[in-house]
Amino acid sequence: MAARDSNATNEGSLPSRAVEQELVPSSPSSLSPLNVAGIVALIGVLLTVFVTWGAYVLNMRNEHRLLQLQTRQVEAVLAATVLSITNPLSTALQVAIATGGNVQQFQREIAGVTRRNGVFVSATLVQTTGTPSTVIASVGAPTWLDVAGGEGQALVHRAAHSSTFLVVSLRRGTTERIGYAVSSPGDPRFVVYAERAIPPDREAPIEKDSAFSDLNYATYVGTATTAPNLATTDVSPTDLPFSGYVAHAVIPFGDTDITLVATARGHLGGSFGATLPWVLLPGGLLLTVGAALLSEQLARRRRRAELHAETITALYGELDGLYAQQRTVAVALQQALLPASHPRIPGLEIASRYVAGVKGVDIGGDWYSVVELSDDHFGFVVGDVSGRGVSAATVMARIRFTIRAYLVEGHGPAEVLAMCARQIDLERDGHFATALVGVGSTTTGEVVLANAGHLNPLLVADGHGEFVSTTVGIPLGTGAGPYETTTITLPRGGVLIGYTDGLVERRGEHLDAGLGRLAAVTTSATQSTLDEMLTGLVTALAQEDAEDDVAIIALRRTRNL
């Protein structure tokens, strides 16, 4: 970075030296004041255009990166919703298998998701042991697909021999449904077939309550993003396909895929980056006009005092000062607009683990993240959203994206938490979150921490483990802070470990006992790699019947940078 700044300064000084050489005359035939003003104006315009274009390009790159990041969060949430669709059918299927096809038991199990405003509009239990397959129970509205017909029999036969559920698109006029056929690979005696209506506005409930309101989206059944494959969208179908920059994601969905296409509704990185080029352009032009006028005046004075050495020296000093001022502005803007994202963080070894709880199939809200902020600075966060399920994952994704965005913008840990606290409310969202945010330097080892109701991190150095005593603020979603920072030094070879409560908490046991086990296991593995350390840590501390998820992030400052 320093070398790059030095080059920018040297390049910025070249116009001043060139003009200075031309302005030192050996006779009254030197450049006229208008020529001098023209040169200054040309240089100013070129610098203005260069800096404005650089600001525009960097903003667009940041927008594209944020769009890709937010689309990945949407992809994770949509992937989790697949379980909410298939689980009721799989449960009803298991009831049918266990009861030998008892109609009343099947109807009782499936009734909850086929009522009005349920997940499905109809559900059918098909027995496959005979030829043809026989419908033995139906719940809800009549199915559009004739299960007893040739096409329905073919679908049932394929489902009975498939390792995953089958998906089929159905259309009647302008109304559409999606059919699902589920069987058990180990016991194909029964197949459950259900149909789900696509809303007239093509907007799914999960998407209506989505945390990703900054995106316009469309989902398609299959990999072809064509009108016949369109499933849901938040825009009019006539506005598809999206114009401009879009992000794609493909989510496995039974025997097919769901393709997500998303584009930004506005400026994901905030209005500052979007408006900066249009602030720089008129500002640079005004500065150029002022510089040209001043240069023209200085040149006139210089011509009048051409034979006076002291006057000529003073004029050169003023002109050189003007160019120096322009160089300073250009270098400062260049430093502010330089990209600060790299795939690796020199001087830092990173490892992480995520262990899902074994109870239920709902997605959890634990997360961790590391982001490079500059050549030698990095940011990280580990957190836990209360509760489980799609809503908890949605809140987690929103907080994770918000914290990463604020860190990339350069905010400190306490400020990041304070701003993030305004984005979540327990009464509105139904969840709160704890988070530990840190910003550190691989050069100095200094790490600044801020804590919103989270467990304190563990610092391991020279074979000793000690929990960092941070000022613990209120969890996100329960108020507006404030949050205070704690600064520590991570020595060369030292390891800083952030984790969620699922790693150390055990029912009926005091938390201090779990923290003691964590410190003991970690300090005994300080000579291994971080991956080996975390493997041993999870093996020693994770519980086979744990209900809570576990998220761990470990950062080691390496000895050789």
Lowest mean pLDDT among 105-109, 402-406, 541-545: 541-545
The tokens 């449960």 sit on which residue?
Answer: 91
Report the run of H or E that residue 465 belongs to, with start and end: strand 464-467
Q: Which residues contact 29 (CB under 8 A, 6 or more apart)?
A: none
| Structural domain count, the chain | 3
Instruction: Report yes or no on 191 lying in a domain.
Output: yes
CB-based contact 34:296 (threshold 8 Å)? yes
* Same domain? 435 vs 544: yes
Residue 4 has pLDDT above 60, yes or no: no
pLDDT in tens, 147-196: 888 898 999 899 888 888 899 888 888 888 889 999 988 888 999 999 98
- Indicate which CATH number applies to the domain containing 506: 3.60.40.10
Answer yes or no: do 551 and 455 share one domain: yes
In three-state secondary structure terms, 170 is strand
Cα end-to-end distance, the chain, whole Å: 16
Q: Which of 150-154, 182-186, 359-363, 522-526 has the lowest mean pLDDT?
A: 359-363
How far is residue 97 CA from its own chain's centroid? 42
Sheet containing 122-127, strands listed edge to edge, beginning at the edge strand earlier in sequence: 134-140, 122-127, 187-197, 175-184, 166-172
Position 227 in a domain: no
Residues in CB range of 286: below 8 A, 6 or more apart:
none
Considering the domain architecture, whether residues 382 and 522 belong to the same structural domain is answered as yes
My answer on whether 429 and 366 are in the same domain is yes
Task: Report whether pLDDT(1) > 60.
Answer: no
Q: Report, as an integer, the average pLDDT of 127-146.
A: 89
**Within this chain, do residues 41 and 174 fall inside the same structural domain, yes or no?**
no
Confidence bin at 60 (pLDDT 50/70/90): confident
Tell me whether residue 88 is in a domain: no
Q: How high is the pLDDT of residue 16?
A: 42
Instruction: Count CA within 13 A, CB hemisphere, residue 261.
Output: 24
pLDDT at position 29 is 46
Q: Tell me: pLDDT of 21 over 50.
A: no
Are the beta carbons of 431 and 387 closer than 8 angstroms?
yes
Sequence-distant (6+) residues with CB within 8 A of 291 are 40, 41, 44, 322, 326
Considering the domain architecture, whether residues 354 and 445 belong to the same structural domain is answered as: yes
Band of the pLDDT at 460, cuts 50, 70, 90? very high
Domain edge (last residue) among 197, 228, 251? 197
Evaluate whether residue 212 is within a structural domain.
Answer: no
51 and 127, same domain (yes or no): no
CB 379 within 8 Å of CB 371? yes
Q: Which of 169, 197, 225 is the last residue of a domain?
A: 197
> CB neighbours of 376 closer than 8 A, spacing ≥ 6?
346, 347, 441, 442, 443
Structure confidence at residue 44 as a pLDDT band (50, 70, 90): confident
pLDDT of residue 112: 82
CATH classification at residue 177: 3.30.450.40
Q: Using CA atoms of 90, 92, 94, 97 in order, give the dihedral in degrees to the nearest 10.
A: -130
The pTM of the full predicted model, rounded to 2 decimals, is 0.42
Please check whether residues 46 and 106 belong to one and the same domain.
no
Q: Are residues 161 and 300 in the same domain?
A: no
- Out of 317, 337, 357, pick the residue that ends a domain: 337
Handedness of CA 103, 104, 108, 111 (dihedral sign): positive
Do 500 and 355 belong together in one domain?
yes
Using an 8 Å Cβ cutoff, are 534 and 353 in contact?
A: yes
pLDDT 10s digits, 273-282: 777 777 778 8
Q: Which whole number is the average pLDDT over 470-496?
A: 92
Contact 122, 141 (CB under 8 A): yes
Q: Give the integer Cα–Cα distance in Å for 165 and 157.
A: 12
- Per the domain annotation, does 218 fall within a domain? no
Structure tokens at 88: 């009721």
Please report whether residue 423 resides in a domain: yes
Under DSSP, is residue 384 helix (H, G, I), strand (E, B) or coil?
strand
Say if residue 496's pLDDT is above 70.
yes
Q: Confirm whether 66 is domain-assigned.
A: no
Residues 481 and 545 in one domain: yes
Same-domain pairing of 471 and 551:
yes
Q: What is the pLDDT of residue 111?
A: 85
Residue 309: pLDDT over 70: no
Q: Which domain holds residue 517?
A: 348-557
- Report if residue 38 sits inside a domain: yes
Phi, psi (deg, nearest 5) at residue 448: -105, 125
